[in-house]
Structure 1
Amino acid sequence: MKHPETNSDTQCPIPLYNWVPATRSHHVLPLLFPHKGGSMLKQQRINTIRSLLLKEKQVSVAELARLFEVTDRTIRRDLKQLAESGVAELFFGGARFATIENNALFKQVGINNIMNALSSKYINGQNGKSPKSNHMLGVYILGSFNIDIVSEVPDFPREGETIHSLSTGFYAGGKGSNQATAAAKVNDHVHLAVKIGDDEFGSKARQYFSSTDIHSFSIFEDKETHTGNASIFVSQQSGENFIAIDLGANKTITDLELHQEYELIENSRVFLTQLENNFEATRQAIECASATGSLVMLNPAPYIDECKSIIHLVDIVTPNETEAQDMTGIEVTDIETAKQAAQAIHNMGAKVIVMTMGSKGALMFDGQQYRHFPPYKAVVTDTSGAGDSFNGALAASLANDLPLDYAIKFASAYASLAVERKGASNMPEASLAEARLTEQEKM
């Protein structure tokens, strides 16, 4: 297991395991101020102000000074630092949250502009200033952990039918965990934030994480809720699957827990999340990431309609055909209807759409042009990890500064290898994907 880096600003190590007591209280603000005045570290105070900006959208110098029991001058310095990092916009007497619409860095449409802006930011620093830390994370993933109970069946049962399972296995899963496992095969600095229960499945989660290549973790624990789990049926005949998820502790992430993650999110090249956590936490994390230099990726799965309210904050959205149809009402049956759905999603505000289409490959639309990426040949065994392997590999490739077209090809090759393995978390090595990509390019 690789060790976390040290943040040069604070000289505090990023924790490998970040244990936080669970709380169900919705009265978060008192919890955010366990210490005030001089006893509260500057970075803690700034993170707390960032949290208030995300929640309230506007703060006042006088109110913050009273709240923290410090001088107005101290608060103005804190707000200036947040403004320099792109999180806040200053006005006389206070500051407002710098939304994506107000952030000039992200006004440009098209992935080339986004990536150019991002590359410039990491070379020169935000607004021409030096980066705060030399230890940028490659990919930050806010996600889920589930224990997958996978049953292989001859074919899917009809309604009311009882069938025999050919085999049953217990695997580590959850979209966030799977995507982080895949990303860590491609990029050496992947951070995963998850929440588990205080139970046997939670213990298995810790054992699993210690065996992966994932660089660092924030593992939150809920003593009142069980660890998430999923029942997965895989057809021996086709390799296709259907899944029922009990999200458990994944849906109990609190404002206080997320508050501790802002600095890591801000210092990541790519922020990736899905929809297996409580939506309020997902929304708040995306708002935070969109106000920074992180490239924001959303895998809208499992689909919920609320994600439309944050789609304008997303740089790259990665639906499959079903999710694209749910988002737009357009039935996706071929490349032409996929283009129509991609255009509709772009009209909602997403800058780039990368739609995965199974055996039909992938489609990219950046608001200017469409590009279809043919599928890679695979001997399909289990498709349950196909989308997660694609998303993890794509995020990690972009964090490695690879061009989008190549990153999509690589992610497609990587996913084609993943579906040849049993278990959604059973991810291949990056070198195998590179070899498959090179082989197909020669054909």
Structure 2
Amino acid sequence: MDKNKPKILVIGSANMDMVIGTDHFPVPGETIMGGQFSLIPGGKGANQAVAAARLGGDVCFITQLGTDIFGDQNLENFKREGIDTSFIKQNPDQPSGVALITVDKSGENTIIVAPGANHSLSVAEIAAASEPFQQADMVLIQLEVPLPVVMEACQKAFGLGKRVILNPAPAMDLPESLFRFLYLITPNETEAEFLTGIKVIGEASAYQAASRLRNKGVQRIIITMGAVGAFLFTDTFQGIIPTTKVEVKDTTAAGDTFCGALAVALGNGKNIQEAVAFALKAATLSVQRFGAQTSIPYLEEL
């Protein structure tokens, strides 16, 4: 354990991504010829854990894998990245999670996830993980694991005075009681609309959506807005922090890279505007590359 690195606890999913490039997405009933096929480690939790580790965090990851080849490969991969795997369980009764991803020529993607062992992650496993919660500078969580696990983790972290970042992806209905446990929430435009009913199409609507989330009890809101940058809402600052325009190859891990980078920057003591700028820089690097974890940059690249 590195005393100089911020301690980031990530709770979430781990998948194996099966990725096919294509000129355009098929419509229902259509078969098209795709391009290259790739097998790339993914899952929102795993991507965010890898991003935090590569960008300077001391990361502990809590997830569930199958006892199959994908589970073994993911576990080895986490160890290679320097992630603490003490609280990762391999479940003999469930397959590892997989995601089927198509990426079109503009870099946009469609994703279908079969969660497998991710949906067996239990409240008991969170309750048993006392040490990583107590040591964490930041706790990072998403919604590809069961909602009771999310609730338990957020409540436990909040009770210990820890700062919780919730990346509310994929979008789903959340209990109102969850919001007060959060230090920060990071929806994209689609997720912000799902949570607030306000379509986010620019700064004014982003402000309205963020205000509604603030009224639910979250003190700080970041709405990621793709090539525009990110809209930050705190008690002292409301506005867009811009990003650099680049040629986009694949957006698959952009949001996850952003969240992992954000957790590290805040854990390092940066103020929230500096942390968002750092996270945008990391995400911008990631969209210029193909794949999920294969696209996540290292600290020295920033």
Q: TM-score, normalised by structure 2?
A: 0.95
Residue matched to 1:232: 101
User: Which aligned pairs between 1:18-417 and structure 2 lie closer than 5 A?
Assistant: 138-236=7-105, 238-417=106-285
Cross-structure match for 1:8: none
Length, aligned pairs only: 301
**Partner of 1:230: helix, strand, or coil?**
strand
Q: Name the SS of the counterpart of 1:306 in structure 2.
A: coil
Following superposition, the deviation at residue 368 of structure 1 comes to 4.3
Partner AA of 2:15 in structure 1: N
Does the 8 A contact of 1:187 with 1:400 survive in 2?
Answer: no
Displacement of 1:392 in angstroms is 0.3
Tell me the equivalent position of 1:432: 301
Q: CA deviation at 1:197?
A: 0.9
Say whether the 8 Å CA contact 1:266–1:293 is kept in structure 2: no
CA distance in 2, matches of 1:203, 1:147: 11
- Aligned to 1:305, the other structure's residue is in SS state coil
Greater relative contact order (Cα < 8 A, sep 6+): 2
The structure-2 alpha-carbon separation of the partners of 1:291 and 1:135, relative to structure 1 and needing over 3 Å to count, comes to: farther
Residues 224-273 of structure 1, C-alpha deviations (whole Å, 9 max, x = no match):
1111110111002x101111111111111123322221231122110010
Tell me the secondary structure at the aligned position of residue 139 of structure 1.
Answer: strand
| Matches of 1:243 and 1:153, distance apart in 2 | 13
Residue 174 of structure 2 aligns to a residue whose secondary structure is: helix
**Deviation for aligned residue 1:190:** 1.2
User: 2: distance between equivalents of 1:137 and 1:430?
Assistant: 14
Contact persistence 1:187–1:399 (CA under 8 A): no
CA apart distance, 1:167: 1.1
Taking the aligned partners of 1:263 and 1:209, their CA distance within structure 2 comes to: 19
**1:215 & 1:242 partners in 2: Cα distance?**
31
Equivalent-residue separation in structure 2 for 1:421 and 1:136 (angstroms): 27
Q: Is the contact made by 1:352 and 1:366 (CA closer than 8 Å) also made in structure 2? A: yes
Name the counterpart of 1:121: none
In the alignment, the residues of structure 2 paired with residue 247 and residue 137 of structure 1 have an alpha-carbon distance, to the nearest angstrom, of 30
* Paired residues of 1:375 and 1:412 also in contact (CA < 8 A): yes
1:319-376 Cα offsets, whole Å, 9 max, x none, are: 0000000000011111111111010111111110011000111000014430211121
Amino acid at match of 2:55: V
Q: What is the CA deviation profile of residues 270-304 of structure 1, one whole-angstrom value per residue up to 9, with x for unaligned ones?
A: 00100011111111010000112311100000111
Q: Secondary structure at the match of 2:285?
A: helix
Which amino acid in the other structure matches residue 145 of structure 2? N
Between the aligned partners of 1:146 and 1:309, the Cα distance in structure 2 is 29
More divergent stretch after superposition (295-304 vs 360-369):
360-369
The answer for unaligned runs of 5 or more in structure 2 is none
Distance 1:216 1:195, change over 3 A: closer
Identity of aligned residues (%): 36
Equivalents in 2 of 1:340, 1:314: separation in Å?
19
CA contact (8 A) 2:5 2:57 kept: no
What residue identity is the alignment partner of 2:10? I
The alignment partner of 1:350 has SS state of coil
**8 Å contact kept, 2:56–2:299:** no
Look at both structures and tell me which one has the larger radius of gyration over its CA atoms. Answer: 1
Residues 166 and 307 of structure 1: CA distance in aligned 2, closer, same or farther (over 3 Å)? farther
Post-superposition offset of 1:307 = 4.9
After superposition, the Cα gap between the structure-2 partners of 1:308 and 1:159, relative to the gap in structure 1 and judged at 3 Å, is: farther
Does residue 423 (structure 1) correspond to residue 278 (structure 2)? The answer is: no
Alpha-carbon separation, structure 1, partners of 2:157 and 2:175: 15
Query: Deviation per CA, 1:174-219, whole angstroms, max 9, x where unpaired?
Result: 1011001111122241111110011121111122112213255421
1:430 and 1:215 mapped to 2: Cα distance? 19
> Contact 2:6–2:264 (CA<8 Å) still a contact in 1?
no
Rounded to whole Å, the distance in 2 between the matches of 1:249 and 1:420 is 31
Distance 1:311 1:360, change over 3 A: same
CA distance in 2, matches of 1:332, 1:405: 21
